[in-house]
Amino acid sequence: MLEIKDLAVKLEEEDKQILKGVNLSVKAGEVHAIMGPNGSGKSTLSYVLSGKDGYDVSQGSALLNGADLLELDPEERAAAGLFLAFQYPVEIPGVGNMTFLRTAVNAQLKARGQDEMSAAEFLKAVRAKAKTLKIDAEMLKRPVNVGFSGGEKKRNEILQMAMLEPKMCILDETDSGLDVDAMKLVSQGVNALRGEGRAFLVITHYQRLLDHIKPDIVHIMADGRIVKTGGPELAVEVENNGYSDILAEVT
């Protein structure tokens, strides 16, 4: 589903190389986790895949179901089935949560040549999905993320993902700032979306999230590259011993 080959990326303004030849292949139905020290390029990878400004791709490719992501505008990438849950979701004052969600859902349906959801259809769907994430009606009525706690913002991100039903879901440190209960709720929302037609790339520092969202494959990223790949036991090794042994092994 996602095929990244020799991807090298630098910051446009600083001429600083961040990604130095990333190779990654994620098949439909799989959940991959990326771990690594601060500054290793994990979040940059998610930003480049989603189309954030400020990055210059100097070499390599990134394909989503065979389509060249790097040639698409951010909204085209979303319509193609890419979703990014942010580490720090922004507040959007003046834009109601329900209005935001329905506009996003219908924009993607339209881009895919499908019928848009009526107000009644949307309301029924969003209420059902919000209930599973313990998002109450008041949260749905408020402006997007305005006055939300960290846990509420992350649950709202997962609600967006549940409504948009993307093919490739990238979660950028979704567990940061969450208490145990909020993390369980977010993880339940993610696990409810797992299936053969969807893949996940989970970027995290901590094994604790991977206790709830069990990955098929774990990658260790350092200095702009993926330096080691293994099963879930690799995340446990990092939790117990840190990165130093792994980095010493691969350098």
Quote the CA–CA distance of 210 and 32 in Å, as a whole number.
Answer: 10
pTM: 0.91
Residues 6 or more apart whose CB falls under 8 angstroms from that of 113 comprise: none
pLDDT of residue 127: 92
- For the cut 90, the answer to whether the pLDDT of residue 132 exceeds it is no
Structure tokens at 5: 């080959």
DSSP string, 172-209: ESTTTT--HHHHHHHHHHHHHH-BTTBEEEEE-S-HHH
Quote the CA–CA distance of 24 and 226 in Å, as a whole number.
Answer: 8
Residue 185 lies in a domain: no
Label residue 186 by pLDDT band (50, 70, 90).
Answer: confident
Rounded mean pLDDT of 33-61? 94
pLDDT of residue 179: 81
pLDDT digits over 52-109, tens only? Answer: 999 999 999 999 999 999 999 999 999 999 999 988 899 999 999 999 999 999 999 9
Residues 6 or more apart whose CB falls under 8 angstroms from that of 107 comprise: 75, 79
Read off the CATH number of the domain in which 93 is found: 3.40.50.300
For the beta carbon of residue 62, count every other beta carbon within 10 angstroms.
22
* Helix pair angle (119-132, 97-111), 10° resolution: 110
Quote the CA–CA distance of 54 and 70 in Å, as a whole number.
Answer: 13
Residue 104 lies in a domain: yes
Rounded mean pLDDT of 102-118? 93
Residue 245 lies in a domain: yes
Q: Range of 25's domain? A: 2-41+50-180+201-250
pLDDT of residue 251: 64
Angle at the Cα of 165 (from 61 to 2), degrees rounded to 5? 20
pLDDT digits over 199-221, tens only? Answer: 999 999 888 888 899 999 999 99
The answer to whether the CB of 154 falls within 8 A of the CB of 110 is no
Residues 6 or more apart whose CB falls under 8 angstroms from that of 135 comprise: 152, 155, 156, 159
- For the cut 90, the answer to whether the pLDDT of residue 183 exceeds it is no
Residue 193 lies in a domain: no
The number of distinct structural domains making up the chain is: 1
Going by the DSSP 8-state scheme, the letter that residue 52 receives in this structure is: -
Rounded mean pLDDT of 157-175? 92
Residue 194 lies in a domain: no
Strand, helix or coil at 165? coil
pLDDT of residue 161: 92
pLDDT of residue 189: 84
Quote the CA–CA distance of 42 and 69 in Å, as a whole number.
Answer: 18
Residue 208 lies in a domain: yes
Residue 133 lies in a domain: yes
Q: What percent of the chain has pLDDT over 90?
A: 66
Residue 195 lies in a domain: no
For the beta carbon of residue 83, count every other beta carbon within 10 angstroms.
22
- CA 184 from centre of chain: 17
pLDDT of residue 49: 97
Label residue 32 by pLDDT band (50, 70, 90).
Answer: very high
